């Protein structure tokens, strides 16, 4: 592991705990920094802070003192969820103190190169497929970021012959100073997280940070089917690798209805790919490009594509029951994600949808609702989704209490050959602490169908 230059005996503030803050604090402490952790949760109810204190790390909990930065810190590592409008973060920026994210710290201390994956949708699936391909290709990948272990935890153990495959959010990328992945991927850009970023422009700029430090020695894989991404790609100094699902291209990676092409040459037959949906084809193209650039054997790439059925809670195939195929897409916490899921299937769909009511419109789903034969709605948005489904001409509509109740209705409403799809288009927090819990309850109920 390479020590961050000048880190020994430096005074560092870690702002905010959770998994990323704990990992950053422990790594900094191990590398000889004098670490202070500040977290809003009271010490008595903060086991993470208690553990750090036992290791000799200074802990300030339950408040954010206004004069905190007067202690003479030389840089700040902030939790990705803390916005730059936070008073302490803003104060640090005003004083000219570097404000790093945990991912930036991981990059600075790691011997291993990074593959960085970002975008509005598809990050987790793309990251997972790349990891599986490189693993089958014996290329010693490690997976980090929003899935798996936080980046600092992985970087601390990584060796030079590893490669760190990292899912990156706009929160993690915003404000990065030196982060430079050897391969960067931007899957797509859609309006999201404006409550954090304020404007779409700031959100997009944060995403573009995945490539801003790349050079001609690096690669930038990007969505050539989305003009805003193409415009951003023109600013990159990396070798450009466009991907398109609109037919064969002589550059980058592309696909038509039957074949995947690399630099215009056919390399894979799509008939062997088991993961459904055009949105997943985009993810697959990104993953294949990254694997090819990493010198992954084509046999490893083919094996993964022939067996990978999806990431848990992301258009995840659960089981076939009495001729119906049942999918868990609980991660679809917004309309765009549900739209992508609906386009993945040609068979009639019974859609399970609903959840936290943020007042957003379902109108973007109207065209895709043509393939929906029935709707089971639940949660705070149940009545609104029912009215929307009626306006789309869906005749079979039922209101359920929750996702478990919805499975029983969907089973009765469906027929042999149908798709039963949980894709809520809403967050889960009206009834569940996370979309993972919602998805797990769906799976449990589906597995109990006799």
- Tell me if 173 sits within 8 A of 117, measured CB to CB: no
352-366 as b/e: b if 16+ CB within 10 A: bbbbbbeeeebeebe
Picking from 67, 56, 166, the residue whose alpha carbon sits closest to that of residue 110 is: 166
> Do strands 419-422 and 349-353 pair parallel, antiparallel, or not at all (unpaired)?
parallel
DSSP conformational letter for 149: B
Q: Give the C-alpha separation, 287 to 181, whole Å.
A: 15
Q: Residues in the chain, how many? A: 450
Picking from 417, 419, 407, the residue whose alpha carbon sits closest to that of residue 446 is: 407
> Binding residue per annotation — 121?
yes
Partnered with residue 82 across adjacent β-strands are none
Please state, in angstroms and as integers, the Cα–Cα distance from residue 244 to each residue in 86, 284, 300, 325, 428, following that order: 39, 11, 22, 29, 33
Would you list the DSSP string of 199-251? SHHHHHHHHHTTTTT--TTSEEEEETTSHHHHHHHTT--SEEEEEESSS--SS
> Binding residue per annotation — 119?
yes
Please state, in angstroms and as integers, the Cα–Cα distance from residue 128 to each residue in 80, 125, 144, 222, 260, following that order: 21, 5, 10, 18, 19
Token readout for 286 is 């990104």
E strand or H helix at 195: helix 194-197
Token readout for 300 is 């490893």
> Binding residue per annotation — 145?
no
Would you list the DSSP string of 302-338? HHHHHH----TTSSEEEEEETTEEEEE-TT--SHHHH
Please state, in angstroms and as integers, the Cα–Cα distance from residue 165 to each residue in 102, 194, 334, 343, 381, following that order: 15, 27, 26, 28, 37
Spatial CB neighbours of 379, under 8 Å, sequence gap ≥ 6: 354, 355, 356, 357, 402, 424, 426, 430, 431
> Binding residue per annotation — 434?
no
> Binding residue per annotation — 125?
yes
Binding-site members for ATP are 119-125
Binding-site members are 119-125
């Amino acid at each position: 592991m390479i020590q961050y230059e000048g880190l020994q005996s430096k005074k560092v503030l870690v702002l905010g705990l959770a998994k990323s803050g704990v990992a950053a604090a422990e790594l900094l402490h191990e590398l000889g920094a004098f670490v202070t952790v500040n977290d809003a949760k009271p010490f008595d109810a903060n086991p993470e802070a208690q553990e750090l204190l036992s290791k000799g790390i200074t802990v300030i909990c339950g408040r954010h003192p206004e004069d905190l930065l007067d202690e003479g810190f030389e840089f700040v590592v902030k939790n990705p969820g803390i916005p730059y409008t936070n008073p302490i973060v803003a104060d640090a920026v005003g004083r000219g103190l570097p404000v790093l994210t945990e991912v930036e710290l991981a990059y600075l201390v790691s011997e291993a190169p990074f593959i960085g994956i970002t975008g509005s949708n598809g990050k987790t699936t793309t990251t997972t497929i790349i990891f599986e391909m490189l693993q089958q290709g014996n290329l010693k990948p490690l997976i980090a970021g929003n899935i798996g272990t936080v980046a600092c935890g992985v970087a601390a153990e990584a060796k030079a012959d590893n490669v760190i495959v990292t899912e990156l959010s706009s929160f993690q990328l915003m404000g990065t100073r030196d982060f430079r992945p050897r391969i960067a991927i931007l899957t797509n850009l859609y309006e999201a997280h404006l409550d954090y970023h304020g404007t779409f422009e700031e959100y997009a700029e944060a995403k573009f940070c995945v490539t801003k430090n790349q050079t001609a020695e690096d690669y930038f894989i990007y969505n050539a089917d989305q003009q805003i991404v193409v415009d951003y790609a023109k600013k990159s100094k990396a070798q450009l690798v466009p991907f398109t699902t609109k037919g064969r291209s002589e550059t980058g990676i592309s696909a038509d209805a039957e074949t995947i092409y690399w630099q215009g040459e056919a390399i894979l037959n799509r008939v062997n790919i088991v993961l459904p949906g055009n949105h997943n084809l985009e993810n697959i193209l990104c993953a294949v490009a990254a694997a090819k650039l990493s010198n992954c054997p084509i046999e490893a790439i083919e094996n993964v594509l022939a067996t990978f059925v999806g990431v848990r809670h992301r258009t995840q195939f659960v089981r076939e029951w009495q001729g119906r195929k049942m999918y868990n897409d609980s991660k679809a916490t917004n309309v765009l994600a549900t739209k992508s899921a609906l386009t993945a299937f040609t068979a009639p769909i019974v859609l399970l949808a609903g959840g936290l009511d943020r007042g957003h419109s379902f109108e973007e789903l109207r065209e895709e609702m043509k393939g929906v034969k029935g709707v089971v709605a639940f949660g705070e948005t149940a009545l609104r989704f029912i009215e929307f489904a009626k306006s789309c001409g869906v005749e079979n509509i039922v209101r359920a209490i929750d996702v478990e109740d919805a499975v029983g209705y969907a089973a009765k409403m469906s027929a042999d050959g149908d798709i039963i799809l949980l894709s809520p288009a809403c967050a889960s927090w009206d009834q569940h602490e996370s979309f993972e819990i919602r998805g797990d309850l769906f799976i449990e109920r589906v597995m109990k169908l006799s």
